[in-house]
Structure formats: C-alpha cells, structure tokens
Structure 1
C-alpha cells in the first residue's frame, strides 16, 4: 500500500522512514510533504492509500488536513502524530477524518501495529465497495434482461392496452419510455468483419455486447436490446431530449470504439423519429429498412431512411385488425384478399412504403408464431426468406407471394391448434410462462386469443388442473423463489421482476403460496447453505 509522510521537520520524516522496514511490511513510501496544503496538492498528482501527518504544522495543520482530505479523497486513511498535550484533541477528532493516531515519540511496534490495523480497514472497505458494485451490477443484470425482453416484445409482438404497457415500463425502471411526450428513434447496428469470417464474428459477439454496455453507460436515455432473428445485430432506442447528447454522437462513439478495440466495422441503420410507444413497431421497422439499404462488404456506414422526404403509408389499426381476425378465424382467403388489396396498389405506394407494410405483416405473422408457440424449422426458414425478399426492395411480387405462402402455413398451424382444446390451452399456458410478469388477466387472454372468457376459464381448468389465476400466481411465485435465492436483490426488485408493483402485496401472496414471507424464505435458504458448507 502507498504511504505519504507529512511533517514540517525533515528529521522527523527521515526518522519515520527508518522506524520499520516498510517494504517488508507491505508498504511503499511514495511521497513526502512539509504541511497539509502541500500534501493536498500532491495528492492530486499521485496515488496514496495512507497519509501519516504531524498534528502541528505551518500553513495547514494535521486536523485541518484530515478534514479536507476526507472531503476530497474519502478513500485515503489519515494517521495523526501528536504530542501528549494534544492527545485528547486528536482523539476527539476521529470523526473529522482522522482514522488513527500515534503519540510522539513513535515506537516501532506501535507504528507497525497501527499500519497493519489501517491496512486491514482499507482492505475491508475495498471489499465492501467491490461487493456493492457487484451487487448493483447483479441487480441491474436481472432488470436489464427483463428490460431487453420487454423492448423486443414491444417492437415485434401484439399487446392490447397501452396503459398496462406503461405500468410495466415503470416497474422495469423504464419510466422515460412511458412519458406521453416521448419521441426518439431506433438504430439497427450490424457488425461486419474485413474478411467475412463468420467464426470471428461469433467469437467477437460477446466482447461486442460488453463494449456496448460500457458505451451506453456514458450516455443517458439510450436503451439496447437484441432480436434473435437478426444475427450479429443489436438495436437501440434513443430518446430525443434537448438537454442530452444527441444520438448521432452516441453512434459516432460506438463506431469508433468498435473499430479501435475489436477491429470490426459497423453498419448502422437510423430509423425515423417516432412519437409514443404506439409507433415503436413503425420506428423499429424503419431502422431495419435503413440498414437494408447499406452497401455490401466490410465498410462502416450510417444510413438514414428517406421517409422524411416521401409520403409513407400508415399501417392502420383497422388493417392490422382485419389481418389478425383472419388468422384467428383461420380464414386464409380473407387474409390473402386484404393483403393483396393493399400491397397491389403499387402506383400509390413508394418502395419504402411497400417495404414498411410488408415488414408490418411479417412482424404480425412472427408475433402469431410466438403467441401460439409454433416455431419450427419450417417457420424459421419462411421467416428468413420473407426478410430477404423485403430487404431486396426490388421484387414486390416475390415479397407478396412469400408473405402469402408464409401466412397459409401459419393459418394451417393455428387452425390445428384452435380446434384442439389441448393444443390451444398448451399455447396459452406457454404464453403465460413467458409473459407471467406482464399485466395478464383472463379477460386480456380471451381477447388476445379470440376465445370466450367463460369457455377459456372452464377449458383451462380442465386441461391444466387448476384455474387461470392460481396457475399465474404459481408461475410468478416459482420465479420469485429463484430470484430470492440471490440475496443481493431487494424484495421490491424481485416483486417488480415477477409483475408486482407493491412489495407488501407481493409478500402477502408469497406467504400464502410458500407459507413463508420472502424474508423468512431467504433466511431458510441461507441456513441450509450454511449447513451444507459446514459439512
């Protein structure tokens, strides 16, 4: 550990240096000063862990130095040397930043004992700070995972009530996104490698993710998430605020650091500015379309969409409702007729408008796959093919045909599911298992799956063996039990992560289900772990 000695008498400083073998004891004297002010000035230039200072010095005495040091360098420990006459004064100054004291003349054994004592305190303080950082990172990692999952849900899946969405955003510490005056834009970022080495991209994916997390910390109001359907890509939503650094600066730093530290190129598609959560899908799609217009090859680029200079067709709620009803009613003919009616009006749609509509339809089909748990190798292949045709921006007939073929497949799969109570309830059960933390009710599920509420309630109980509300609580409590084993998470954090806004109500429900409060459950776990470790 690094030590500074401060005393206005050179001989005292020399004497202290000779009292013990500093190196053998694990210390290094890195600097000397003749008064408190000089010591403070030098601490701005060097690193020190401990300062030994005399009590009486010109310009600034030891006690005043200790106060200033506590304010400017709180991690540094100060040991004061004093004569017997100043002993009580120095001892009463322990709360003023003095960590320990030594009476003159200093005995080697006493000096050694105090130095070891203070070193132990420093090590314990560092361990506590490291643990606090680790705990905070752990808490944030749980929350961040759920934040990313929910952002992905908002840009690609179906939800019913905007109020419920905003409440969930607040639970997940994303209240900025729940503001009524929200506006911002999405950015799609792809990493590319000079030699098109897919193995290297796979190898560098984790370092790239870690780099992103570090860069995002430097900026405010920027949120990242990943979509497994797009390899080597990460997506960002950047809130526009007059008081914060513009998103363009963030993008610049991202490109520079990715090149500097990973030697990878970045291709970035900037979406259109959107207003409110209701426009998330449109904004996300516009960033993907901007990216799709990039040049091929390993060259860093930033592409801004041209929608601001073109009339963009709005994907209306009525149009979406017609498509969803056609799928839920397993009526492929109606779906085909509705799509062709819109997408074949070629003369009134720009290429960009056509692509946005096509992407919305594709997202709707993808959302249906997620909702009914229909993912297979065939659906993944169809999804990929549709994406490729849309990105080409020059084959409208091929896009329409591929979307309709994909829709026919999904309608057939939904038909099989909906006409089998077992399969339908299994799909609903899987949906609950994934979205258990969201605002779910029997009413919202019946609306989402287009099924009568009373029939859903009766069928769910007959197939699963318990009613819907009990099953939802069971899933939430099982997830809570897992999270509570991580003792660094606060009870309110666990409550929010499993869908409760109130820690009090969460505790009541948890005790009813587990027969213990969350605190009691944690104590039981800790006791069991101690017994295991003691064996």
Structure 2
C-alpha cells in the first residue's frame, strides 16, 4: 500500500514521512506534498491508498482536497490533521468520508496507529470485495445467477464492467495439468493472470473485457464484440491469436500452455448459458489437443448414455489369456473408436472406458493366476495413480502401454517365450512406425533372424509383419486426418509411407474410407 502525506509545515512532513518506519506498518511507498494542489496531482498520478492531510494548506485545504479525491472516483482512506476542534469542521469531514479527524498537537506514534487502522480497514474491504467477486463468478458459471439486471448490476458494481452490447464468453484452462511440475506452478497463477490481463488489454480496450478467476490456472473472460454482424470465424481467429501470445508469455511462468473454449454471442442475460457453452467447447481439447481454440458451434451434442459397456469383453479376455497383444490392441482401438468417433464424449466417460478395460485385464489375471497380485504388484502399481490427460489419444496410448507391460510380464511368467518376443517386436515396430523400418531392423532388435520374426507374426499374430506395420501406420494416419489439417501426402510421409499411391490404397483397404471422406464425416 502507498501513503500520501500533505502538510505545509516542513517539520511535520519530515517527521511523518521520514521519522516513521512505514515498512513495518505495511506501507510500500510514501509520497510527500507541501500543499493541497500538489497533493491532488500526486494522488491522481499514482496508486495512493491512504492520505494524511493537514486541514490548513495553501492552494487546496484538507477538506477541499478530500472532496476532490472523492469526486475522482479513486478509493482512498483519508485522515485529517487539524488544530480546529469546532464541530462544523468535523461534520464536514465526516460528510466527505474522512475516516479519522485528529486534533493537533499529536504524536508520530498516534499517526502510525491511525495509518495501521486505515490499512486494516482497506484489507478487510478488499477481502470482502474479493469474496463477493468470487461468489458472483461461481454463481455465473454454475447458472445460479439468472436475472439479467442482477448480472449487469453486479458486473458494474464488483468489476466496473458495463455489460451492454454483444458479449462472448471464453473459458481458458492450463493444458496437461497431470504432467510433472504443473502443480508447483499453480502458486504463480497471480503472475499468469497479470500477463493475461496485459495481453487482453493490447487487443481490446480495458472497458471491453472482464476476467474471472475460477480456480488455479482456470479463467473465464467476457469480451464485448463491437463488430456487427458478429462473424464467429473471425472471433475464433482473434481469440486464437490472443491465446498464442498469452501462451508465449505464460508458458515459462506456469510450465504449460492454455486452451480455450468460446461461446456463442449474446447479451448479458445469456452469460450463464455462455459460460456453460464455453466449458463444453473447452472439453473438445480432448480431440484437438493442447493450445486449441474451439467454438461452441463446432461441437456435437451426443447421447453418451448409449455407450455403456465394452462391446467385446469375451474376445478381449481370450486374447489376454493367450498373451495375444495384436488382438488386444485391435479391440482397444475399436473401443476407443466407438466412443470417440462422434466427438461428443466427456472426459469422465473416456476415463470410465479406460477403467473398464483395465478392470477386464485385472479380472482375467485373477481368474487365471492365483498369485497374480504379488507377481504384478509393480506393473499394477501405476494404476493407483490414474492420469488426467488433455487428449483422447493419450488415454488410448496409456491403456495400450498398461496392457503391453502387464501382458509382457504375464507372458514371461507363463514361460511363453514366443509371445514375449512377438510383443517386443510389436513394441519396436509401434515405436518406430514413422521410420523406414524393415523386418531386418526388427530382427536385430530382438536378436533373432528375419525369417524367425516373419514366422512369429504369421503364427502368433495371424498376419504378416508388413500387414501389422501397415495397420499401425494407418491407425496413426487416421488420427492425423481427424485432428489436423495436414494434406494427405503430408500424412503419408509423417506415418512412414514413402509412396503416396500405396498409402492411399492401404488406407482405403484398412479403414474403408479415404482421408477426405473421414474428414467430411468428422467435420461436415
């Protein structure tokens, strides 16, 4: 907090300004003025929280200074020092909102205590105002505030935001919160907020937006759109540009980036609905990935209740018992494709499907191996810390990795030498699918001959190595087609296909569709 001392007596100015340890009182900076006119200039040009002013000064006296301060609209606690004990002076001071009226002569200790008292009053008021702002923000995003007059009035009273005109709501949230180190940066949310406000202020006038703190590293902001008619794609481009600048600024601070969900446009009475829309749009990050911006108009509202159980549990259990990882991987991909192709599933439903698949694995182990818990304690320990990812493919990969680890361990326990070697070969191929790998490369990795590796794939996986590699590559190509704007030949090159015509042929054989058909079904 900052203190302004205004007195025409040099001795008093020095005594108050320099003779007291204001740092001990929680005062960061002390400004000194020899008259009321100079004091007003300092007040209007600097962030001043507490004013100590003599009632008799050249230019403006203490009461006139108090009146000008009140009319400025900037809040401050004012303490008047005076040699006048007449009631009319005290009454005028009270009318102007002066918090204390101290008769001279007084002491430095007395002034120190009055400033401490004023500082505590400010802190109490700030805490109360902050609590009211937090309650309003929570009520707004939860839909508890419905009356448009209440919304407009509270926005103006609590945030100084005039909620007239066409408004758009944006929810921004930190990506990859489950990754290491993010929790340690949550304490820097205040610093990140300052950067966000600064960048928003570079794009829009301060009177055209307001920011709400919802929780650490999650913010909601409302912005007034002055362009008419409103063009959603232009709004998206603007917010994407702003988000890009924000991410460049805050990633070094909080250790991650942000994604955004953007509502449709409307007036103040639609703000609760806009908050819900922006939250739903933000969930689409599951499909777009980090640093994404999604309009509410892009998302599909589907019926998640139709997707209940794993559709082929019996066959999955059979593959687990046989340590047949190729079959397991196929069913895992089918399950994820079934719940994610509509692009309407929530994070909780995707997490539930992950847990369903893991529970099937655990139940199969329980039914087939009496000492399963002791033998698989290390592998299953990772399941106690279920991750929270920001992209559906990371959930899918997590399930694949969990199955590979545990089935690989079980294969060793059962003495299925071939099953374990095939698993190693598959893992190598899946990790290097984008490279020009050959059967020879795989054979060298598992210390076997190419003929033996080819035999393993045919006998245990039921397909050739080339067919398996094509399936892996096409699976990744399909994900790129659904989640990026890469051209078809770029997707082919990114997934290990050197011949585009061959890629197009294999892609159609495996998926039954072309790249353009998949994109058309996804985005319309």
TM > 0.5: no
Larger radius of gyration: 2
TM bucket, shorter chain: 0.3 to 0.5
Length-normalised TM-score, structure 2: 0.41
TM-score by length of 1: 0.40
